[in-house]
């Protein structure tokens, strides 16, 4: 096979645990298999490929398990939960993709790489965490969570109280050398799952974990830069990026430039909690030398590859 461009595909957390589903393991396996249809199309075209994924719903479920069993077994810190999910979700994606390749008579190796992502230990979000995680907390229990467990707890406006954790900006992939080696040797990788395990460097040069989470899309843009990818696919729950989203005057975008993307962000079209990080990731990737970003739905990735749907962002 003659190998073509290099791409990163970022699957949203909803690709594996869908909204309005229970999220049991049978559903997760079925969703994983269906989410890879478009990925197989890129592989058929000879792409060198790295796949990353979100883990928001899964982190929330694991935190509920930790709280429910706290009286029986020692609780796990958030960084370890992210690492555990990289393994478990990577396994589902890896095996599902291996089976699809066998069915299509494609001879490519698939590998999951446990990935740490470097952050700044003085990142503002570490000092002032704002990322909501886990279940809601009763108002009368907030003081105990803060004083006994040492959590930061804030009100999720209009919804209730929840734990907040740091969500520092990703700077560098710790395992970038081995990832690049595998990519050059045509191995299809699943890496940087859930945004990667956040770590910082101590004064003596050693790594130390951060009890927080990294935005998956921002980490995907760093990964794409590290492997010198040509294309970045950010797959989510909508077919296209839109201005005035879910308003009567909504405008769906087929193609925009980086300058237009930045302008629309400044105008407030892309909130931080939804499309904002995806657009920022696209801007970061293109400015670092990437050729194109496609933002679209998981279900329509095959059409997005052909330019029939999705939003393309270029220089």
Active site residue 247: no
Active site residue 278: yes
The pLDDT value recorded for residue 67 is 87
pLDDT in tens, 77-122: 999 999 999 999 999 999 999 999 999 999 999 999 999 999 999 9
Residue with tokens 């929840």: 162
In the predicted structure, residue 171 carries a pLDDT above the cut 90:
yes
The pLDDT value recorded for residue 242 is 94
Q: Report the alpha-carbon distance of residue 182 to residue 180 in Å, rounded.
A: 5
Q: Cβ distance 278 to 11 under 8 Å? A: no
The pLDDT value recorded for residue 156 is 85
Q: How confident is the model at residue 20 (pLDDT cuts 50, 70, 90)?
A: confident
Q: How confident is the model at residue 235 (pLDDT cuts 50, 70, 90)?
A: very high
In the predicted structure, residue 1 carries a pLDDT above the cut 60:
no
Least confident residue range of 101-105, 185-189, 272-276: 272-276
**Average pLDDT for residues 32-48, to the nearest whole number?**
95
The pLDDT value recorded for residue 12 is 84
From the list 176, 225, 240, 278, the catalytic residue is 278
Q: State the average pLDDT for the chain.
A: 93
Q: Cβ distance 166 to 78 under 8 Å? A: no
What is the DSSP track for 191-213? ESGGG-EEEEE-TTS-EEE-SS-
From the list 38, 55, 56, 131, the catalytic residue is 131
DSSP annotation of 105: T
In the predicted structure, residue 2 carries a pLDDT above the cut 70:
no
Contacts of 100 (CB under 8 A, 6+ apart): 33, 36, 40
User: Please, what's the b/e burial string for 144-162 (b: 16 or more CB within 10 A of its CB; e: otherwise)?
Assistant: ebeeeeebebeeeeeeebb
Q: Cβ distance 216 to 53 under 8 Å? A: yes
In the predicted structure, residue 60 carries a pLDDT above the cut 70:
yes
From the list 12, 13, 56, 79, the catalytic residue is 13
Q: How confident is the model at residue 314 (pLDDT cuts 50, 70, 90)?
A: very high
Tell me the two tokens of residue 211: 């009890």
Phi (first) and psi of residue 280, to 5 degrees: -65, -40
In the predicted structure, residue 3 carries a pLDDT above the cut 80:
no
Active site residue 14: yes
Domain ranges in the chain with CATH number 3.40.1160.10:
6-119+170-307
The pLDDT value recorded for residue 96 is 98
What CATH fold (topology level) applies to the domain 6-119+170-307? Carbamate kinase (3.40.1160)
From the list 216, 225, 240, 300, the catalytic residue is 216
Where does residue 30 fall: left (phi above 0), alpha (psi -120 to 50 degrees), or beta otherwise?
Answer: alpha
What is the DSSP track for 83-101? HHHHHHHHHHHHHHHHHHH
Active site residue 216: yes
Q: How confident is the model at residue 302 (pLDDT cuts 50, 70, 90)?
A: very high
The pLDDT value recorded for residue 280 is 97
From the list 12, 14, 31, 79, the catalytic residue is 14
In the predicted structure, residue 241 carries a pLDDT above the cut 60:
yes
Residue 74: exposure state from Cβ atoms within 10 A (0-12, 13-18, ≥19) = exposed
pLDDT in tens, 201-214: 999 999 999 999 99
């Amino acid at each position: 096979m003659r190998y073509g461009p290099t791409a990163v595909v970022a699957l949203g957390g909803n690709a594996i645990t869908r909204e309005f589903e229970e999220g049991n393991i049978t559903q997760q396996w079925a969703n994983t298999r269906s989410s890879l249809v478009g990925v197989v199309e890129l592989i058929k075209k000879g792409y060198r490929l790295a796949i990353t994924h979100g883990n928001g719903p899964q982190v929330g479920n694991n935190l509920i398990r930790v709280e429910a069993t706290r009286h029986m077994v020692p609780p796990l810190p958030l960084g370890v939960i992210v690492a555990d999910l990289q393994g478990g979700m990577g396994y589902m994606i890896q095996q599902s993709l291996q089976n699809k390749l066998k069915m299509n008579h494609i001879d490519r190796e698939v590998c999951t790489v446990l990935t740490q992502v470097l952050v700044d230990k003085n990142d503002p979000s570490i000092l002032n965490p704002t990322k909501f995680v886990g279940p809601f907390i009763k108002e009368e229990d907030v003081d105990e969570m803060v004083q006994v467990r040492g959590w930061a707890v804030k009100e999720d406006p209009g919804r209730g109280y929840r734990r907040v954790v740091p969500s520092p900006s990703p700077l560098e992939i710790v395992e970038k050398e081995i990832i690049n080696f595998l990519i050059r040797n045509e191995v299809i990788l699943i890496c940087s799952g859930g945004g990667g395990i956040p770590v910082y460097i101590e004064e003596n040069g050693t790594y130390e974990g951060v009890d927080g989470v990294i935005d998956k899309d921002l980490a995907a843009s760093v990964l794409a830069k590290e492997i010198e990818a040509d294309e970045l696919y950010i797959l989510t729950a909508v077919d296209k990026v839109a201005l005035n989203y879910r308003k009567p005057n909504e405008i769906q975008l087929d193609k925009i430039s980086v300058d237009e993307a930045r302008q629309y962000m400044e105008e407030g079209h892309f909130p931080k909690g939804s499309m904002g990080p995806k657009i920022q990731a696209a801007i970061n990737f293109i400015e670092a030398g990437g050729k194109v970003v496609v933002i679209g739905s998981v279900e329509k990735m095959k059409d997005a590859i052909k330019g029939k749907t999705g939003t393309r962002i270029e220089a």
